[in-house]
């Protein structure tokens, strides 16, 4: 399909570009991000952080493991990617990504080497991957006002990072999360909120 869209007579040129060339994935990510910002930039934009799963068979694909993915709605064999999408009144597009490597991968140096994972890559939680993604956006002067994310990202370092950067955020929290030290609420306010 890609070859057809490009007007190529067959798939060979596209296969050569995608499968036989050396890619600097991070440099390509930065080119895409800069292109998106050039066309969609807005100071009121939102950076949306979310993960998605890619269903896989076998165990050789980098990061593949039995883990929960919303793509299937269950625990299954998959890879998980953490993504950042830039959303403005002009449109939306992905600007960053990170592959989540489960501990069973990062604890197995031979497996990492066989999958060509760089030696300096270690275990990082999905929220940690998200903080790195947000930090890259801030370092690249990506204009955005807010970050949105679900309960995976709702408590911890991301909130602190965004407060320090002066960014707003809408982050989900688990229903089991306990809120402590609510000085702005009166007891009656809490009782009314519980009834509501």
Task: For 98-140, write each residue's pLDDT tens digit.
Answer: 999 999 999 999 999 999 999 899 999 999 999 999 999 999 9
Max CA distance (Å), the chain? 72
Task: Answer whether 0.85 is exceeded by the pTM.
Answer: no
Question: Per-residue pLDDT for 84 more than 80?
Answer: yes
Rounded CA separation 139/135 (Å): 6
Residues of the chain with pLDDT > 90: what percent?
67
E-state strands within the chain: 46-55, 65-69, 74-88, 91-100, 146-149, 168-171
Report which of 151, 149, 145, 152 is spatially closest to residue 168, judged by C-alpha positions.
145
Please report the pLDDT score of residue 183 as a whole number.
Answer: 52
Please report the pLDDT score of residue 195 as a whole number.
Answer: 47
Beta partners for residue 54, in sequence order: 79
User: CB 51: neighbour CB atoms within 10 A?
Assistant: 21
């Amino acid at each position: 399909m890609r070859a057809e869209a490009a007007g190529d007579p067959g798939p060979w040129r596209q296969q050569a570009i995608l499968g036989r060339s050396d890619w600097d994935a991070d440099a390509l990510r930065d080119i895409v991000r800069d292109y998106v910002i050039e066309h969609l930039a807005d100071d009121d934009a939102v950076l949306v952080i979310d993960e998605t799963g890619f269903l896989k068979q076998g165990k050789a694909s980098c990061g593949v493991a039995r883990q929960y993915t919303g793509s299937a709605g269950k625990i299954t064999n998959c890879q998980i990617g953490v993504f950042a999408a830039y959303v403005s009144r002009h449109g939306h597009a992905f600007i960053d990504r990170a592959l989540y490597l489960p501990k069973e991968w990062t604890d197995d140096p031979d497996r990492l080497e066989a999958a060509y994972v760089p030696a300096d890559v270690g275990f990082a939680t999905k929220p940690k991957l998200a903080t790195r993604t947000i930090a890259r956006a801030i370092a690249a002067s990506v204009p955005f006002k807010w970050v949105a994310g679900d309960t995976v990202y709702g408590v911890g370092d991301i909130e602190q990072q965004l407060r320090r950067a002066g960014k707003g955020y809408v982050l989900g929290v688990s229903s089991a999360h306990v809120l402590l030290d609510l000085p702005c609420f009166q007891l009656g306010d809490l009782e009314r909120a519980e009834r509501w």
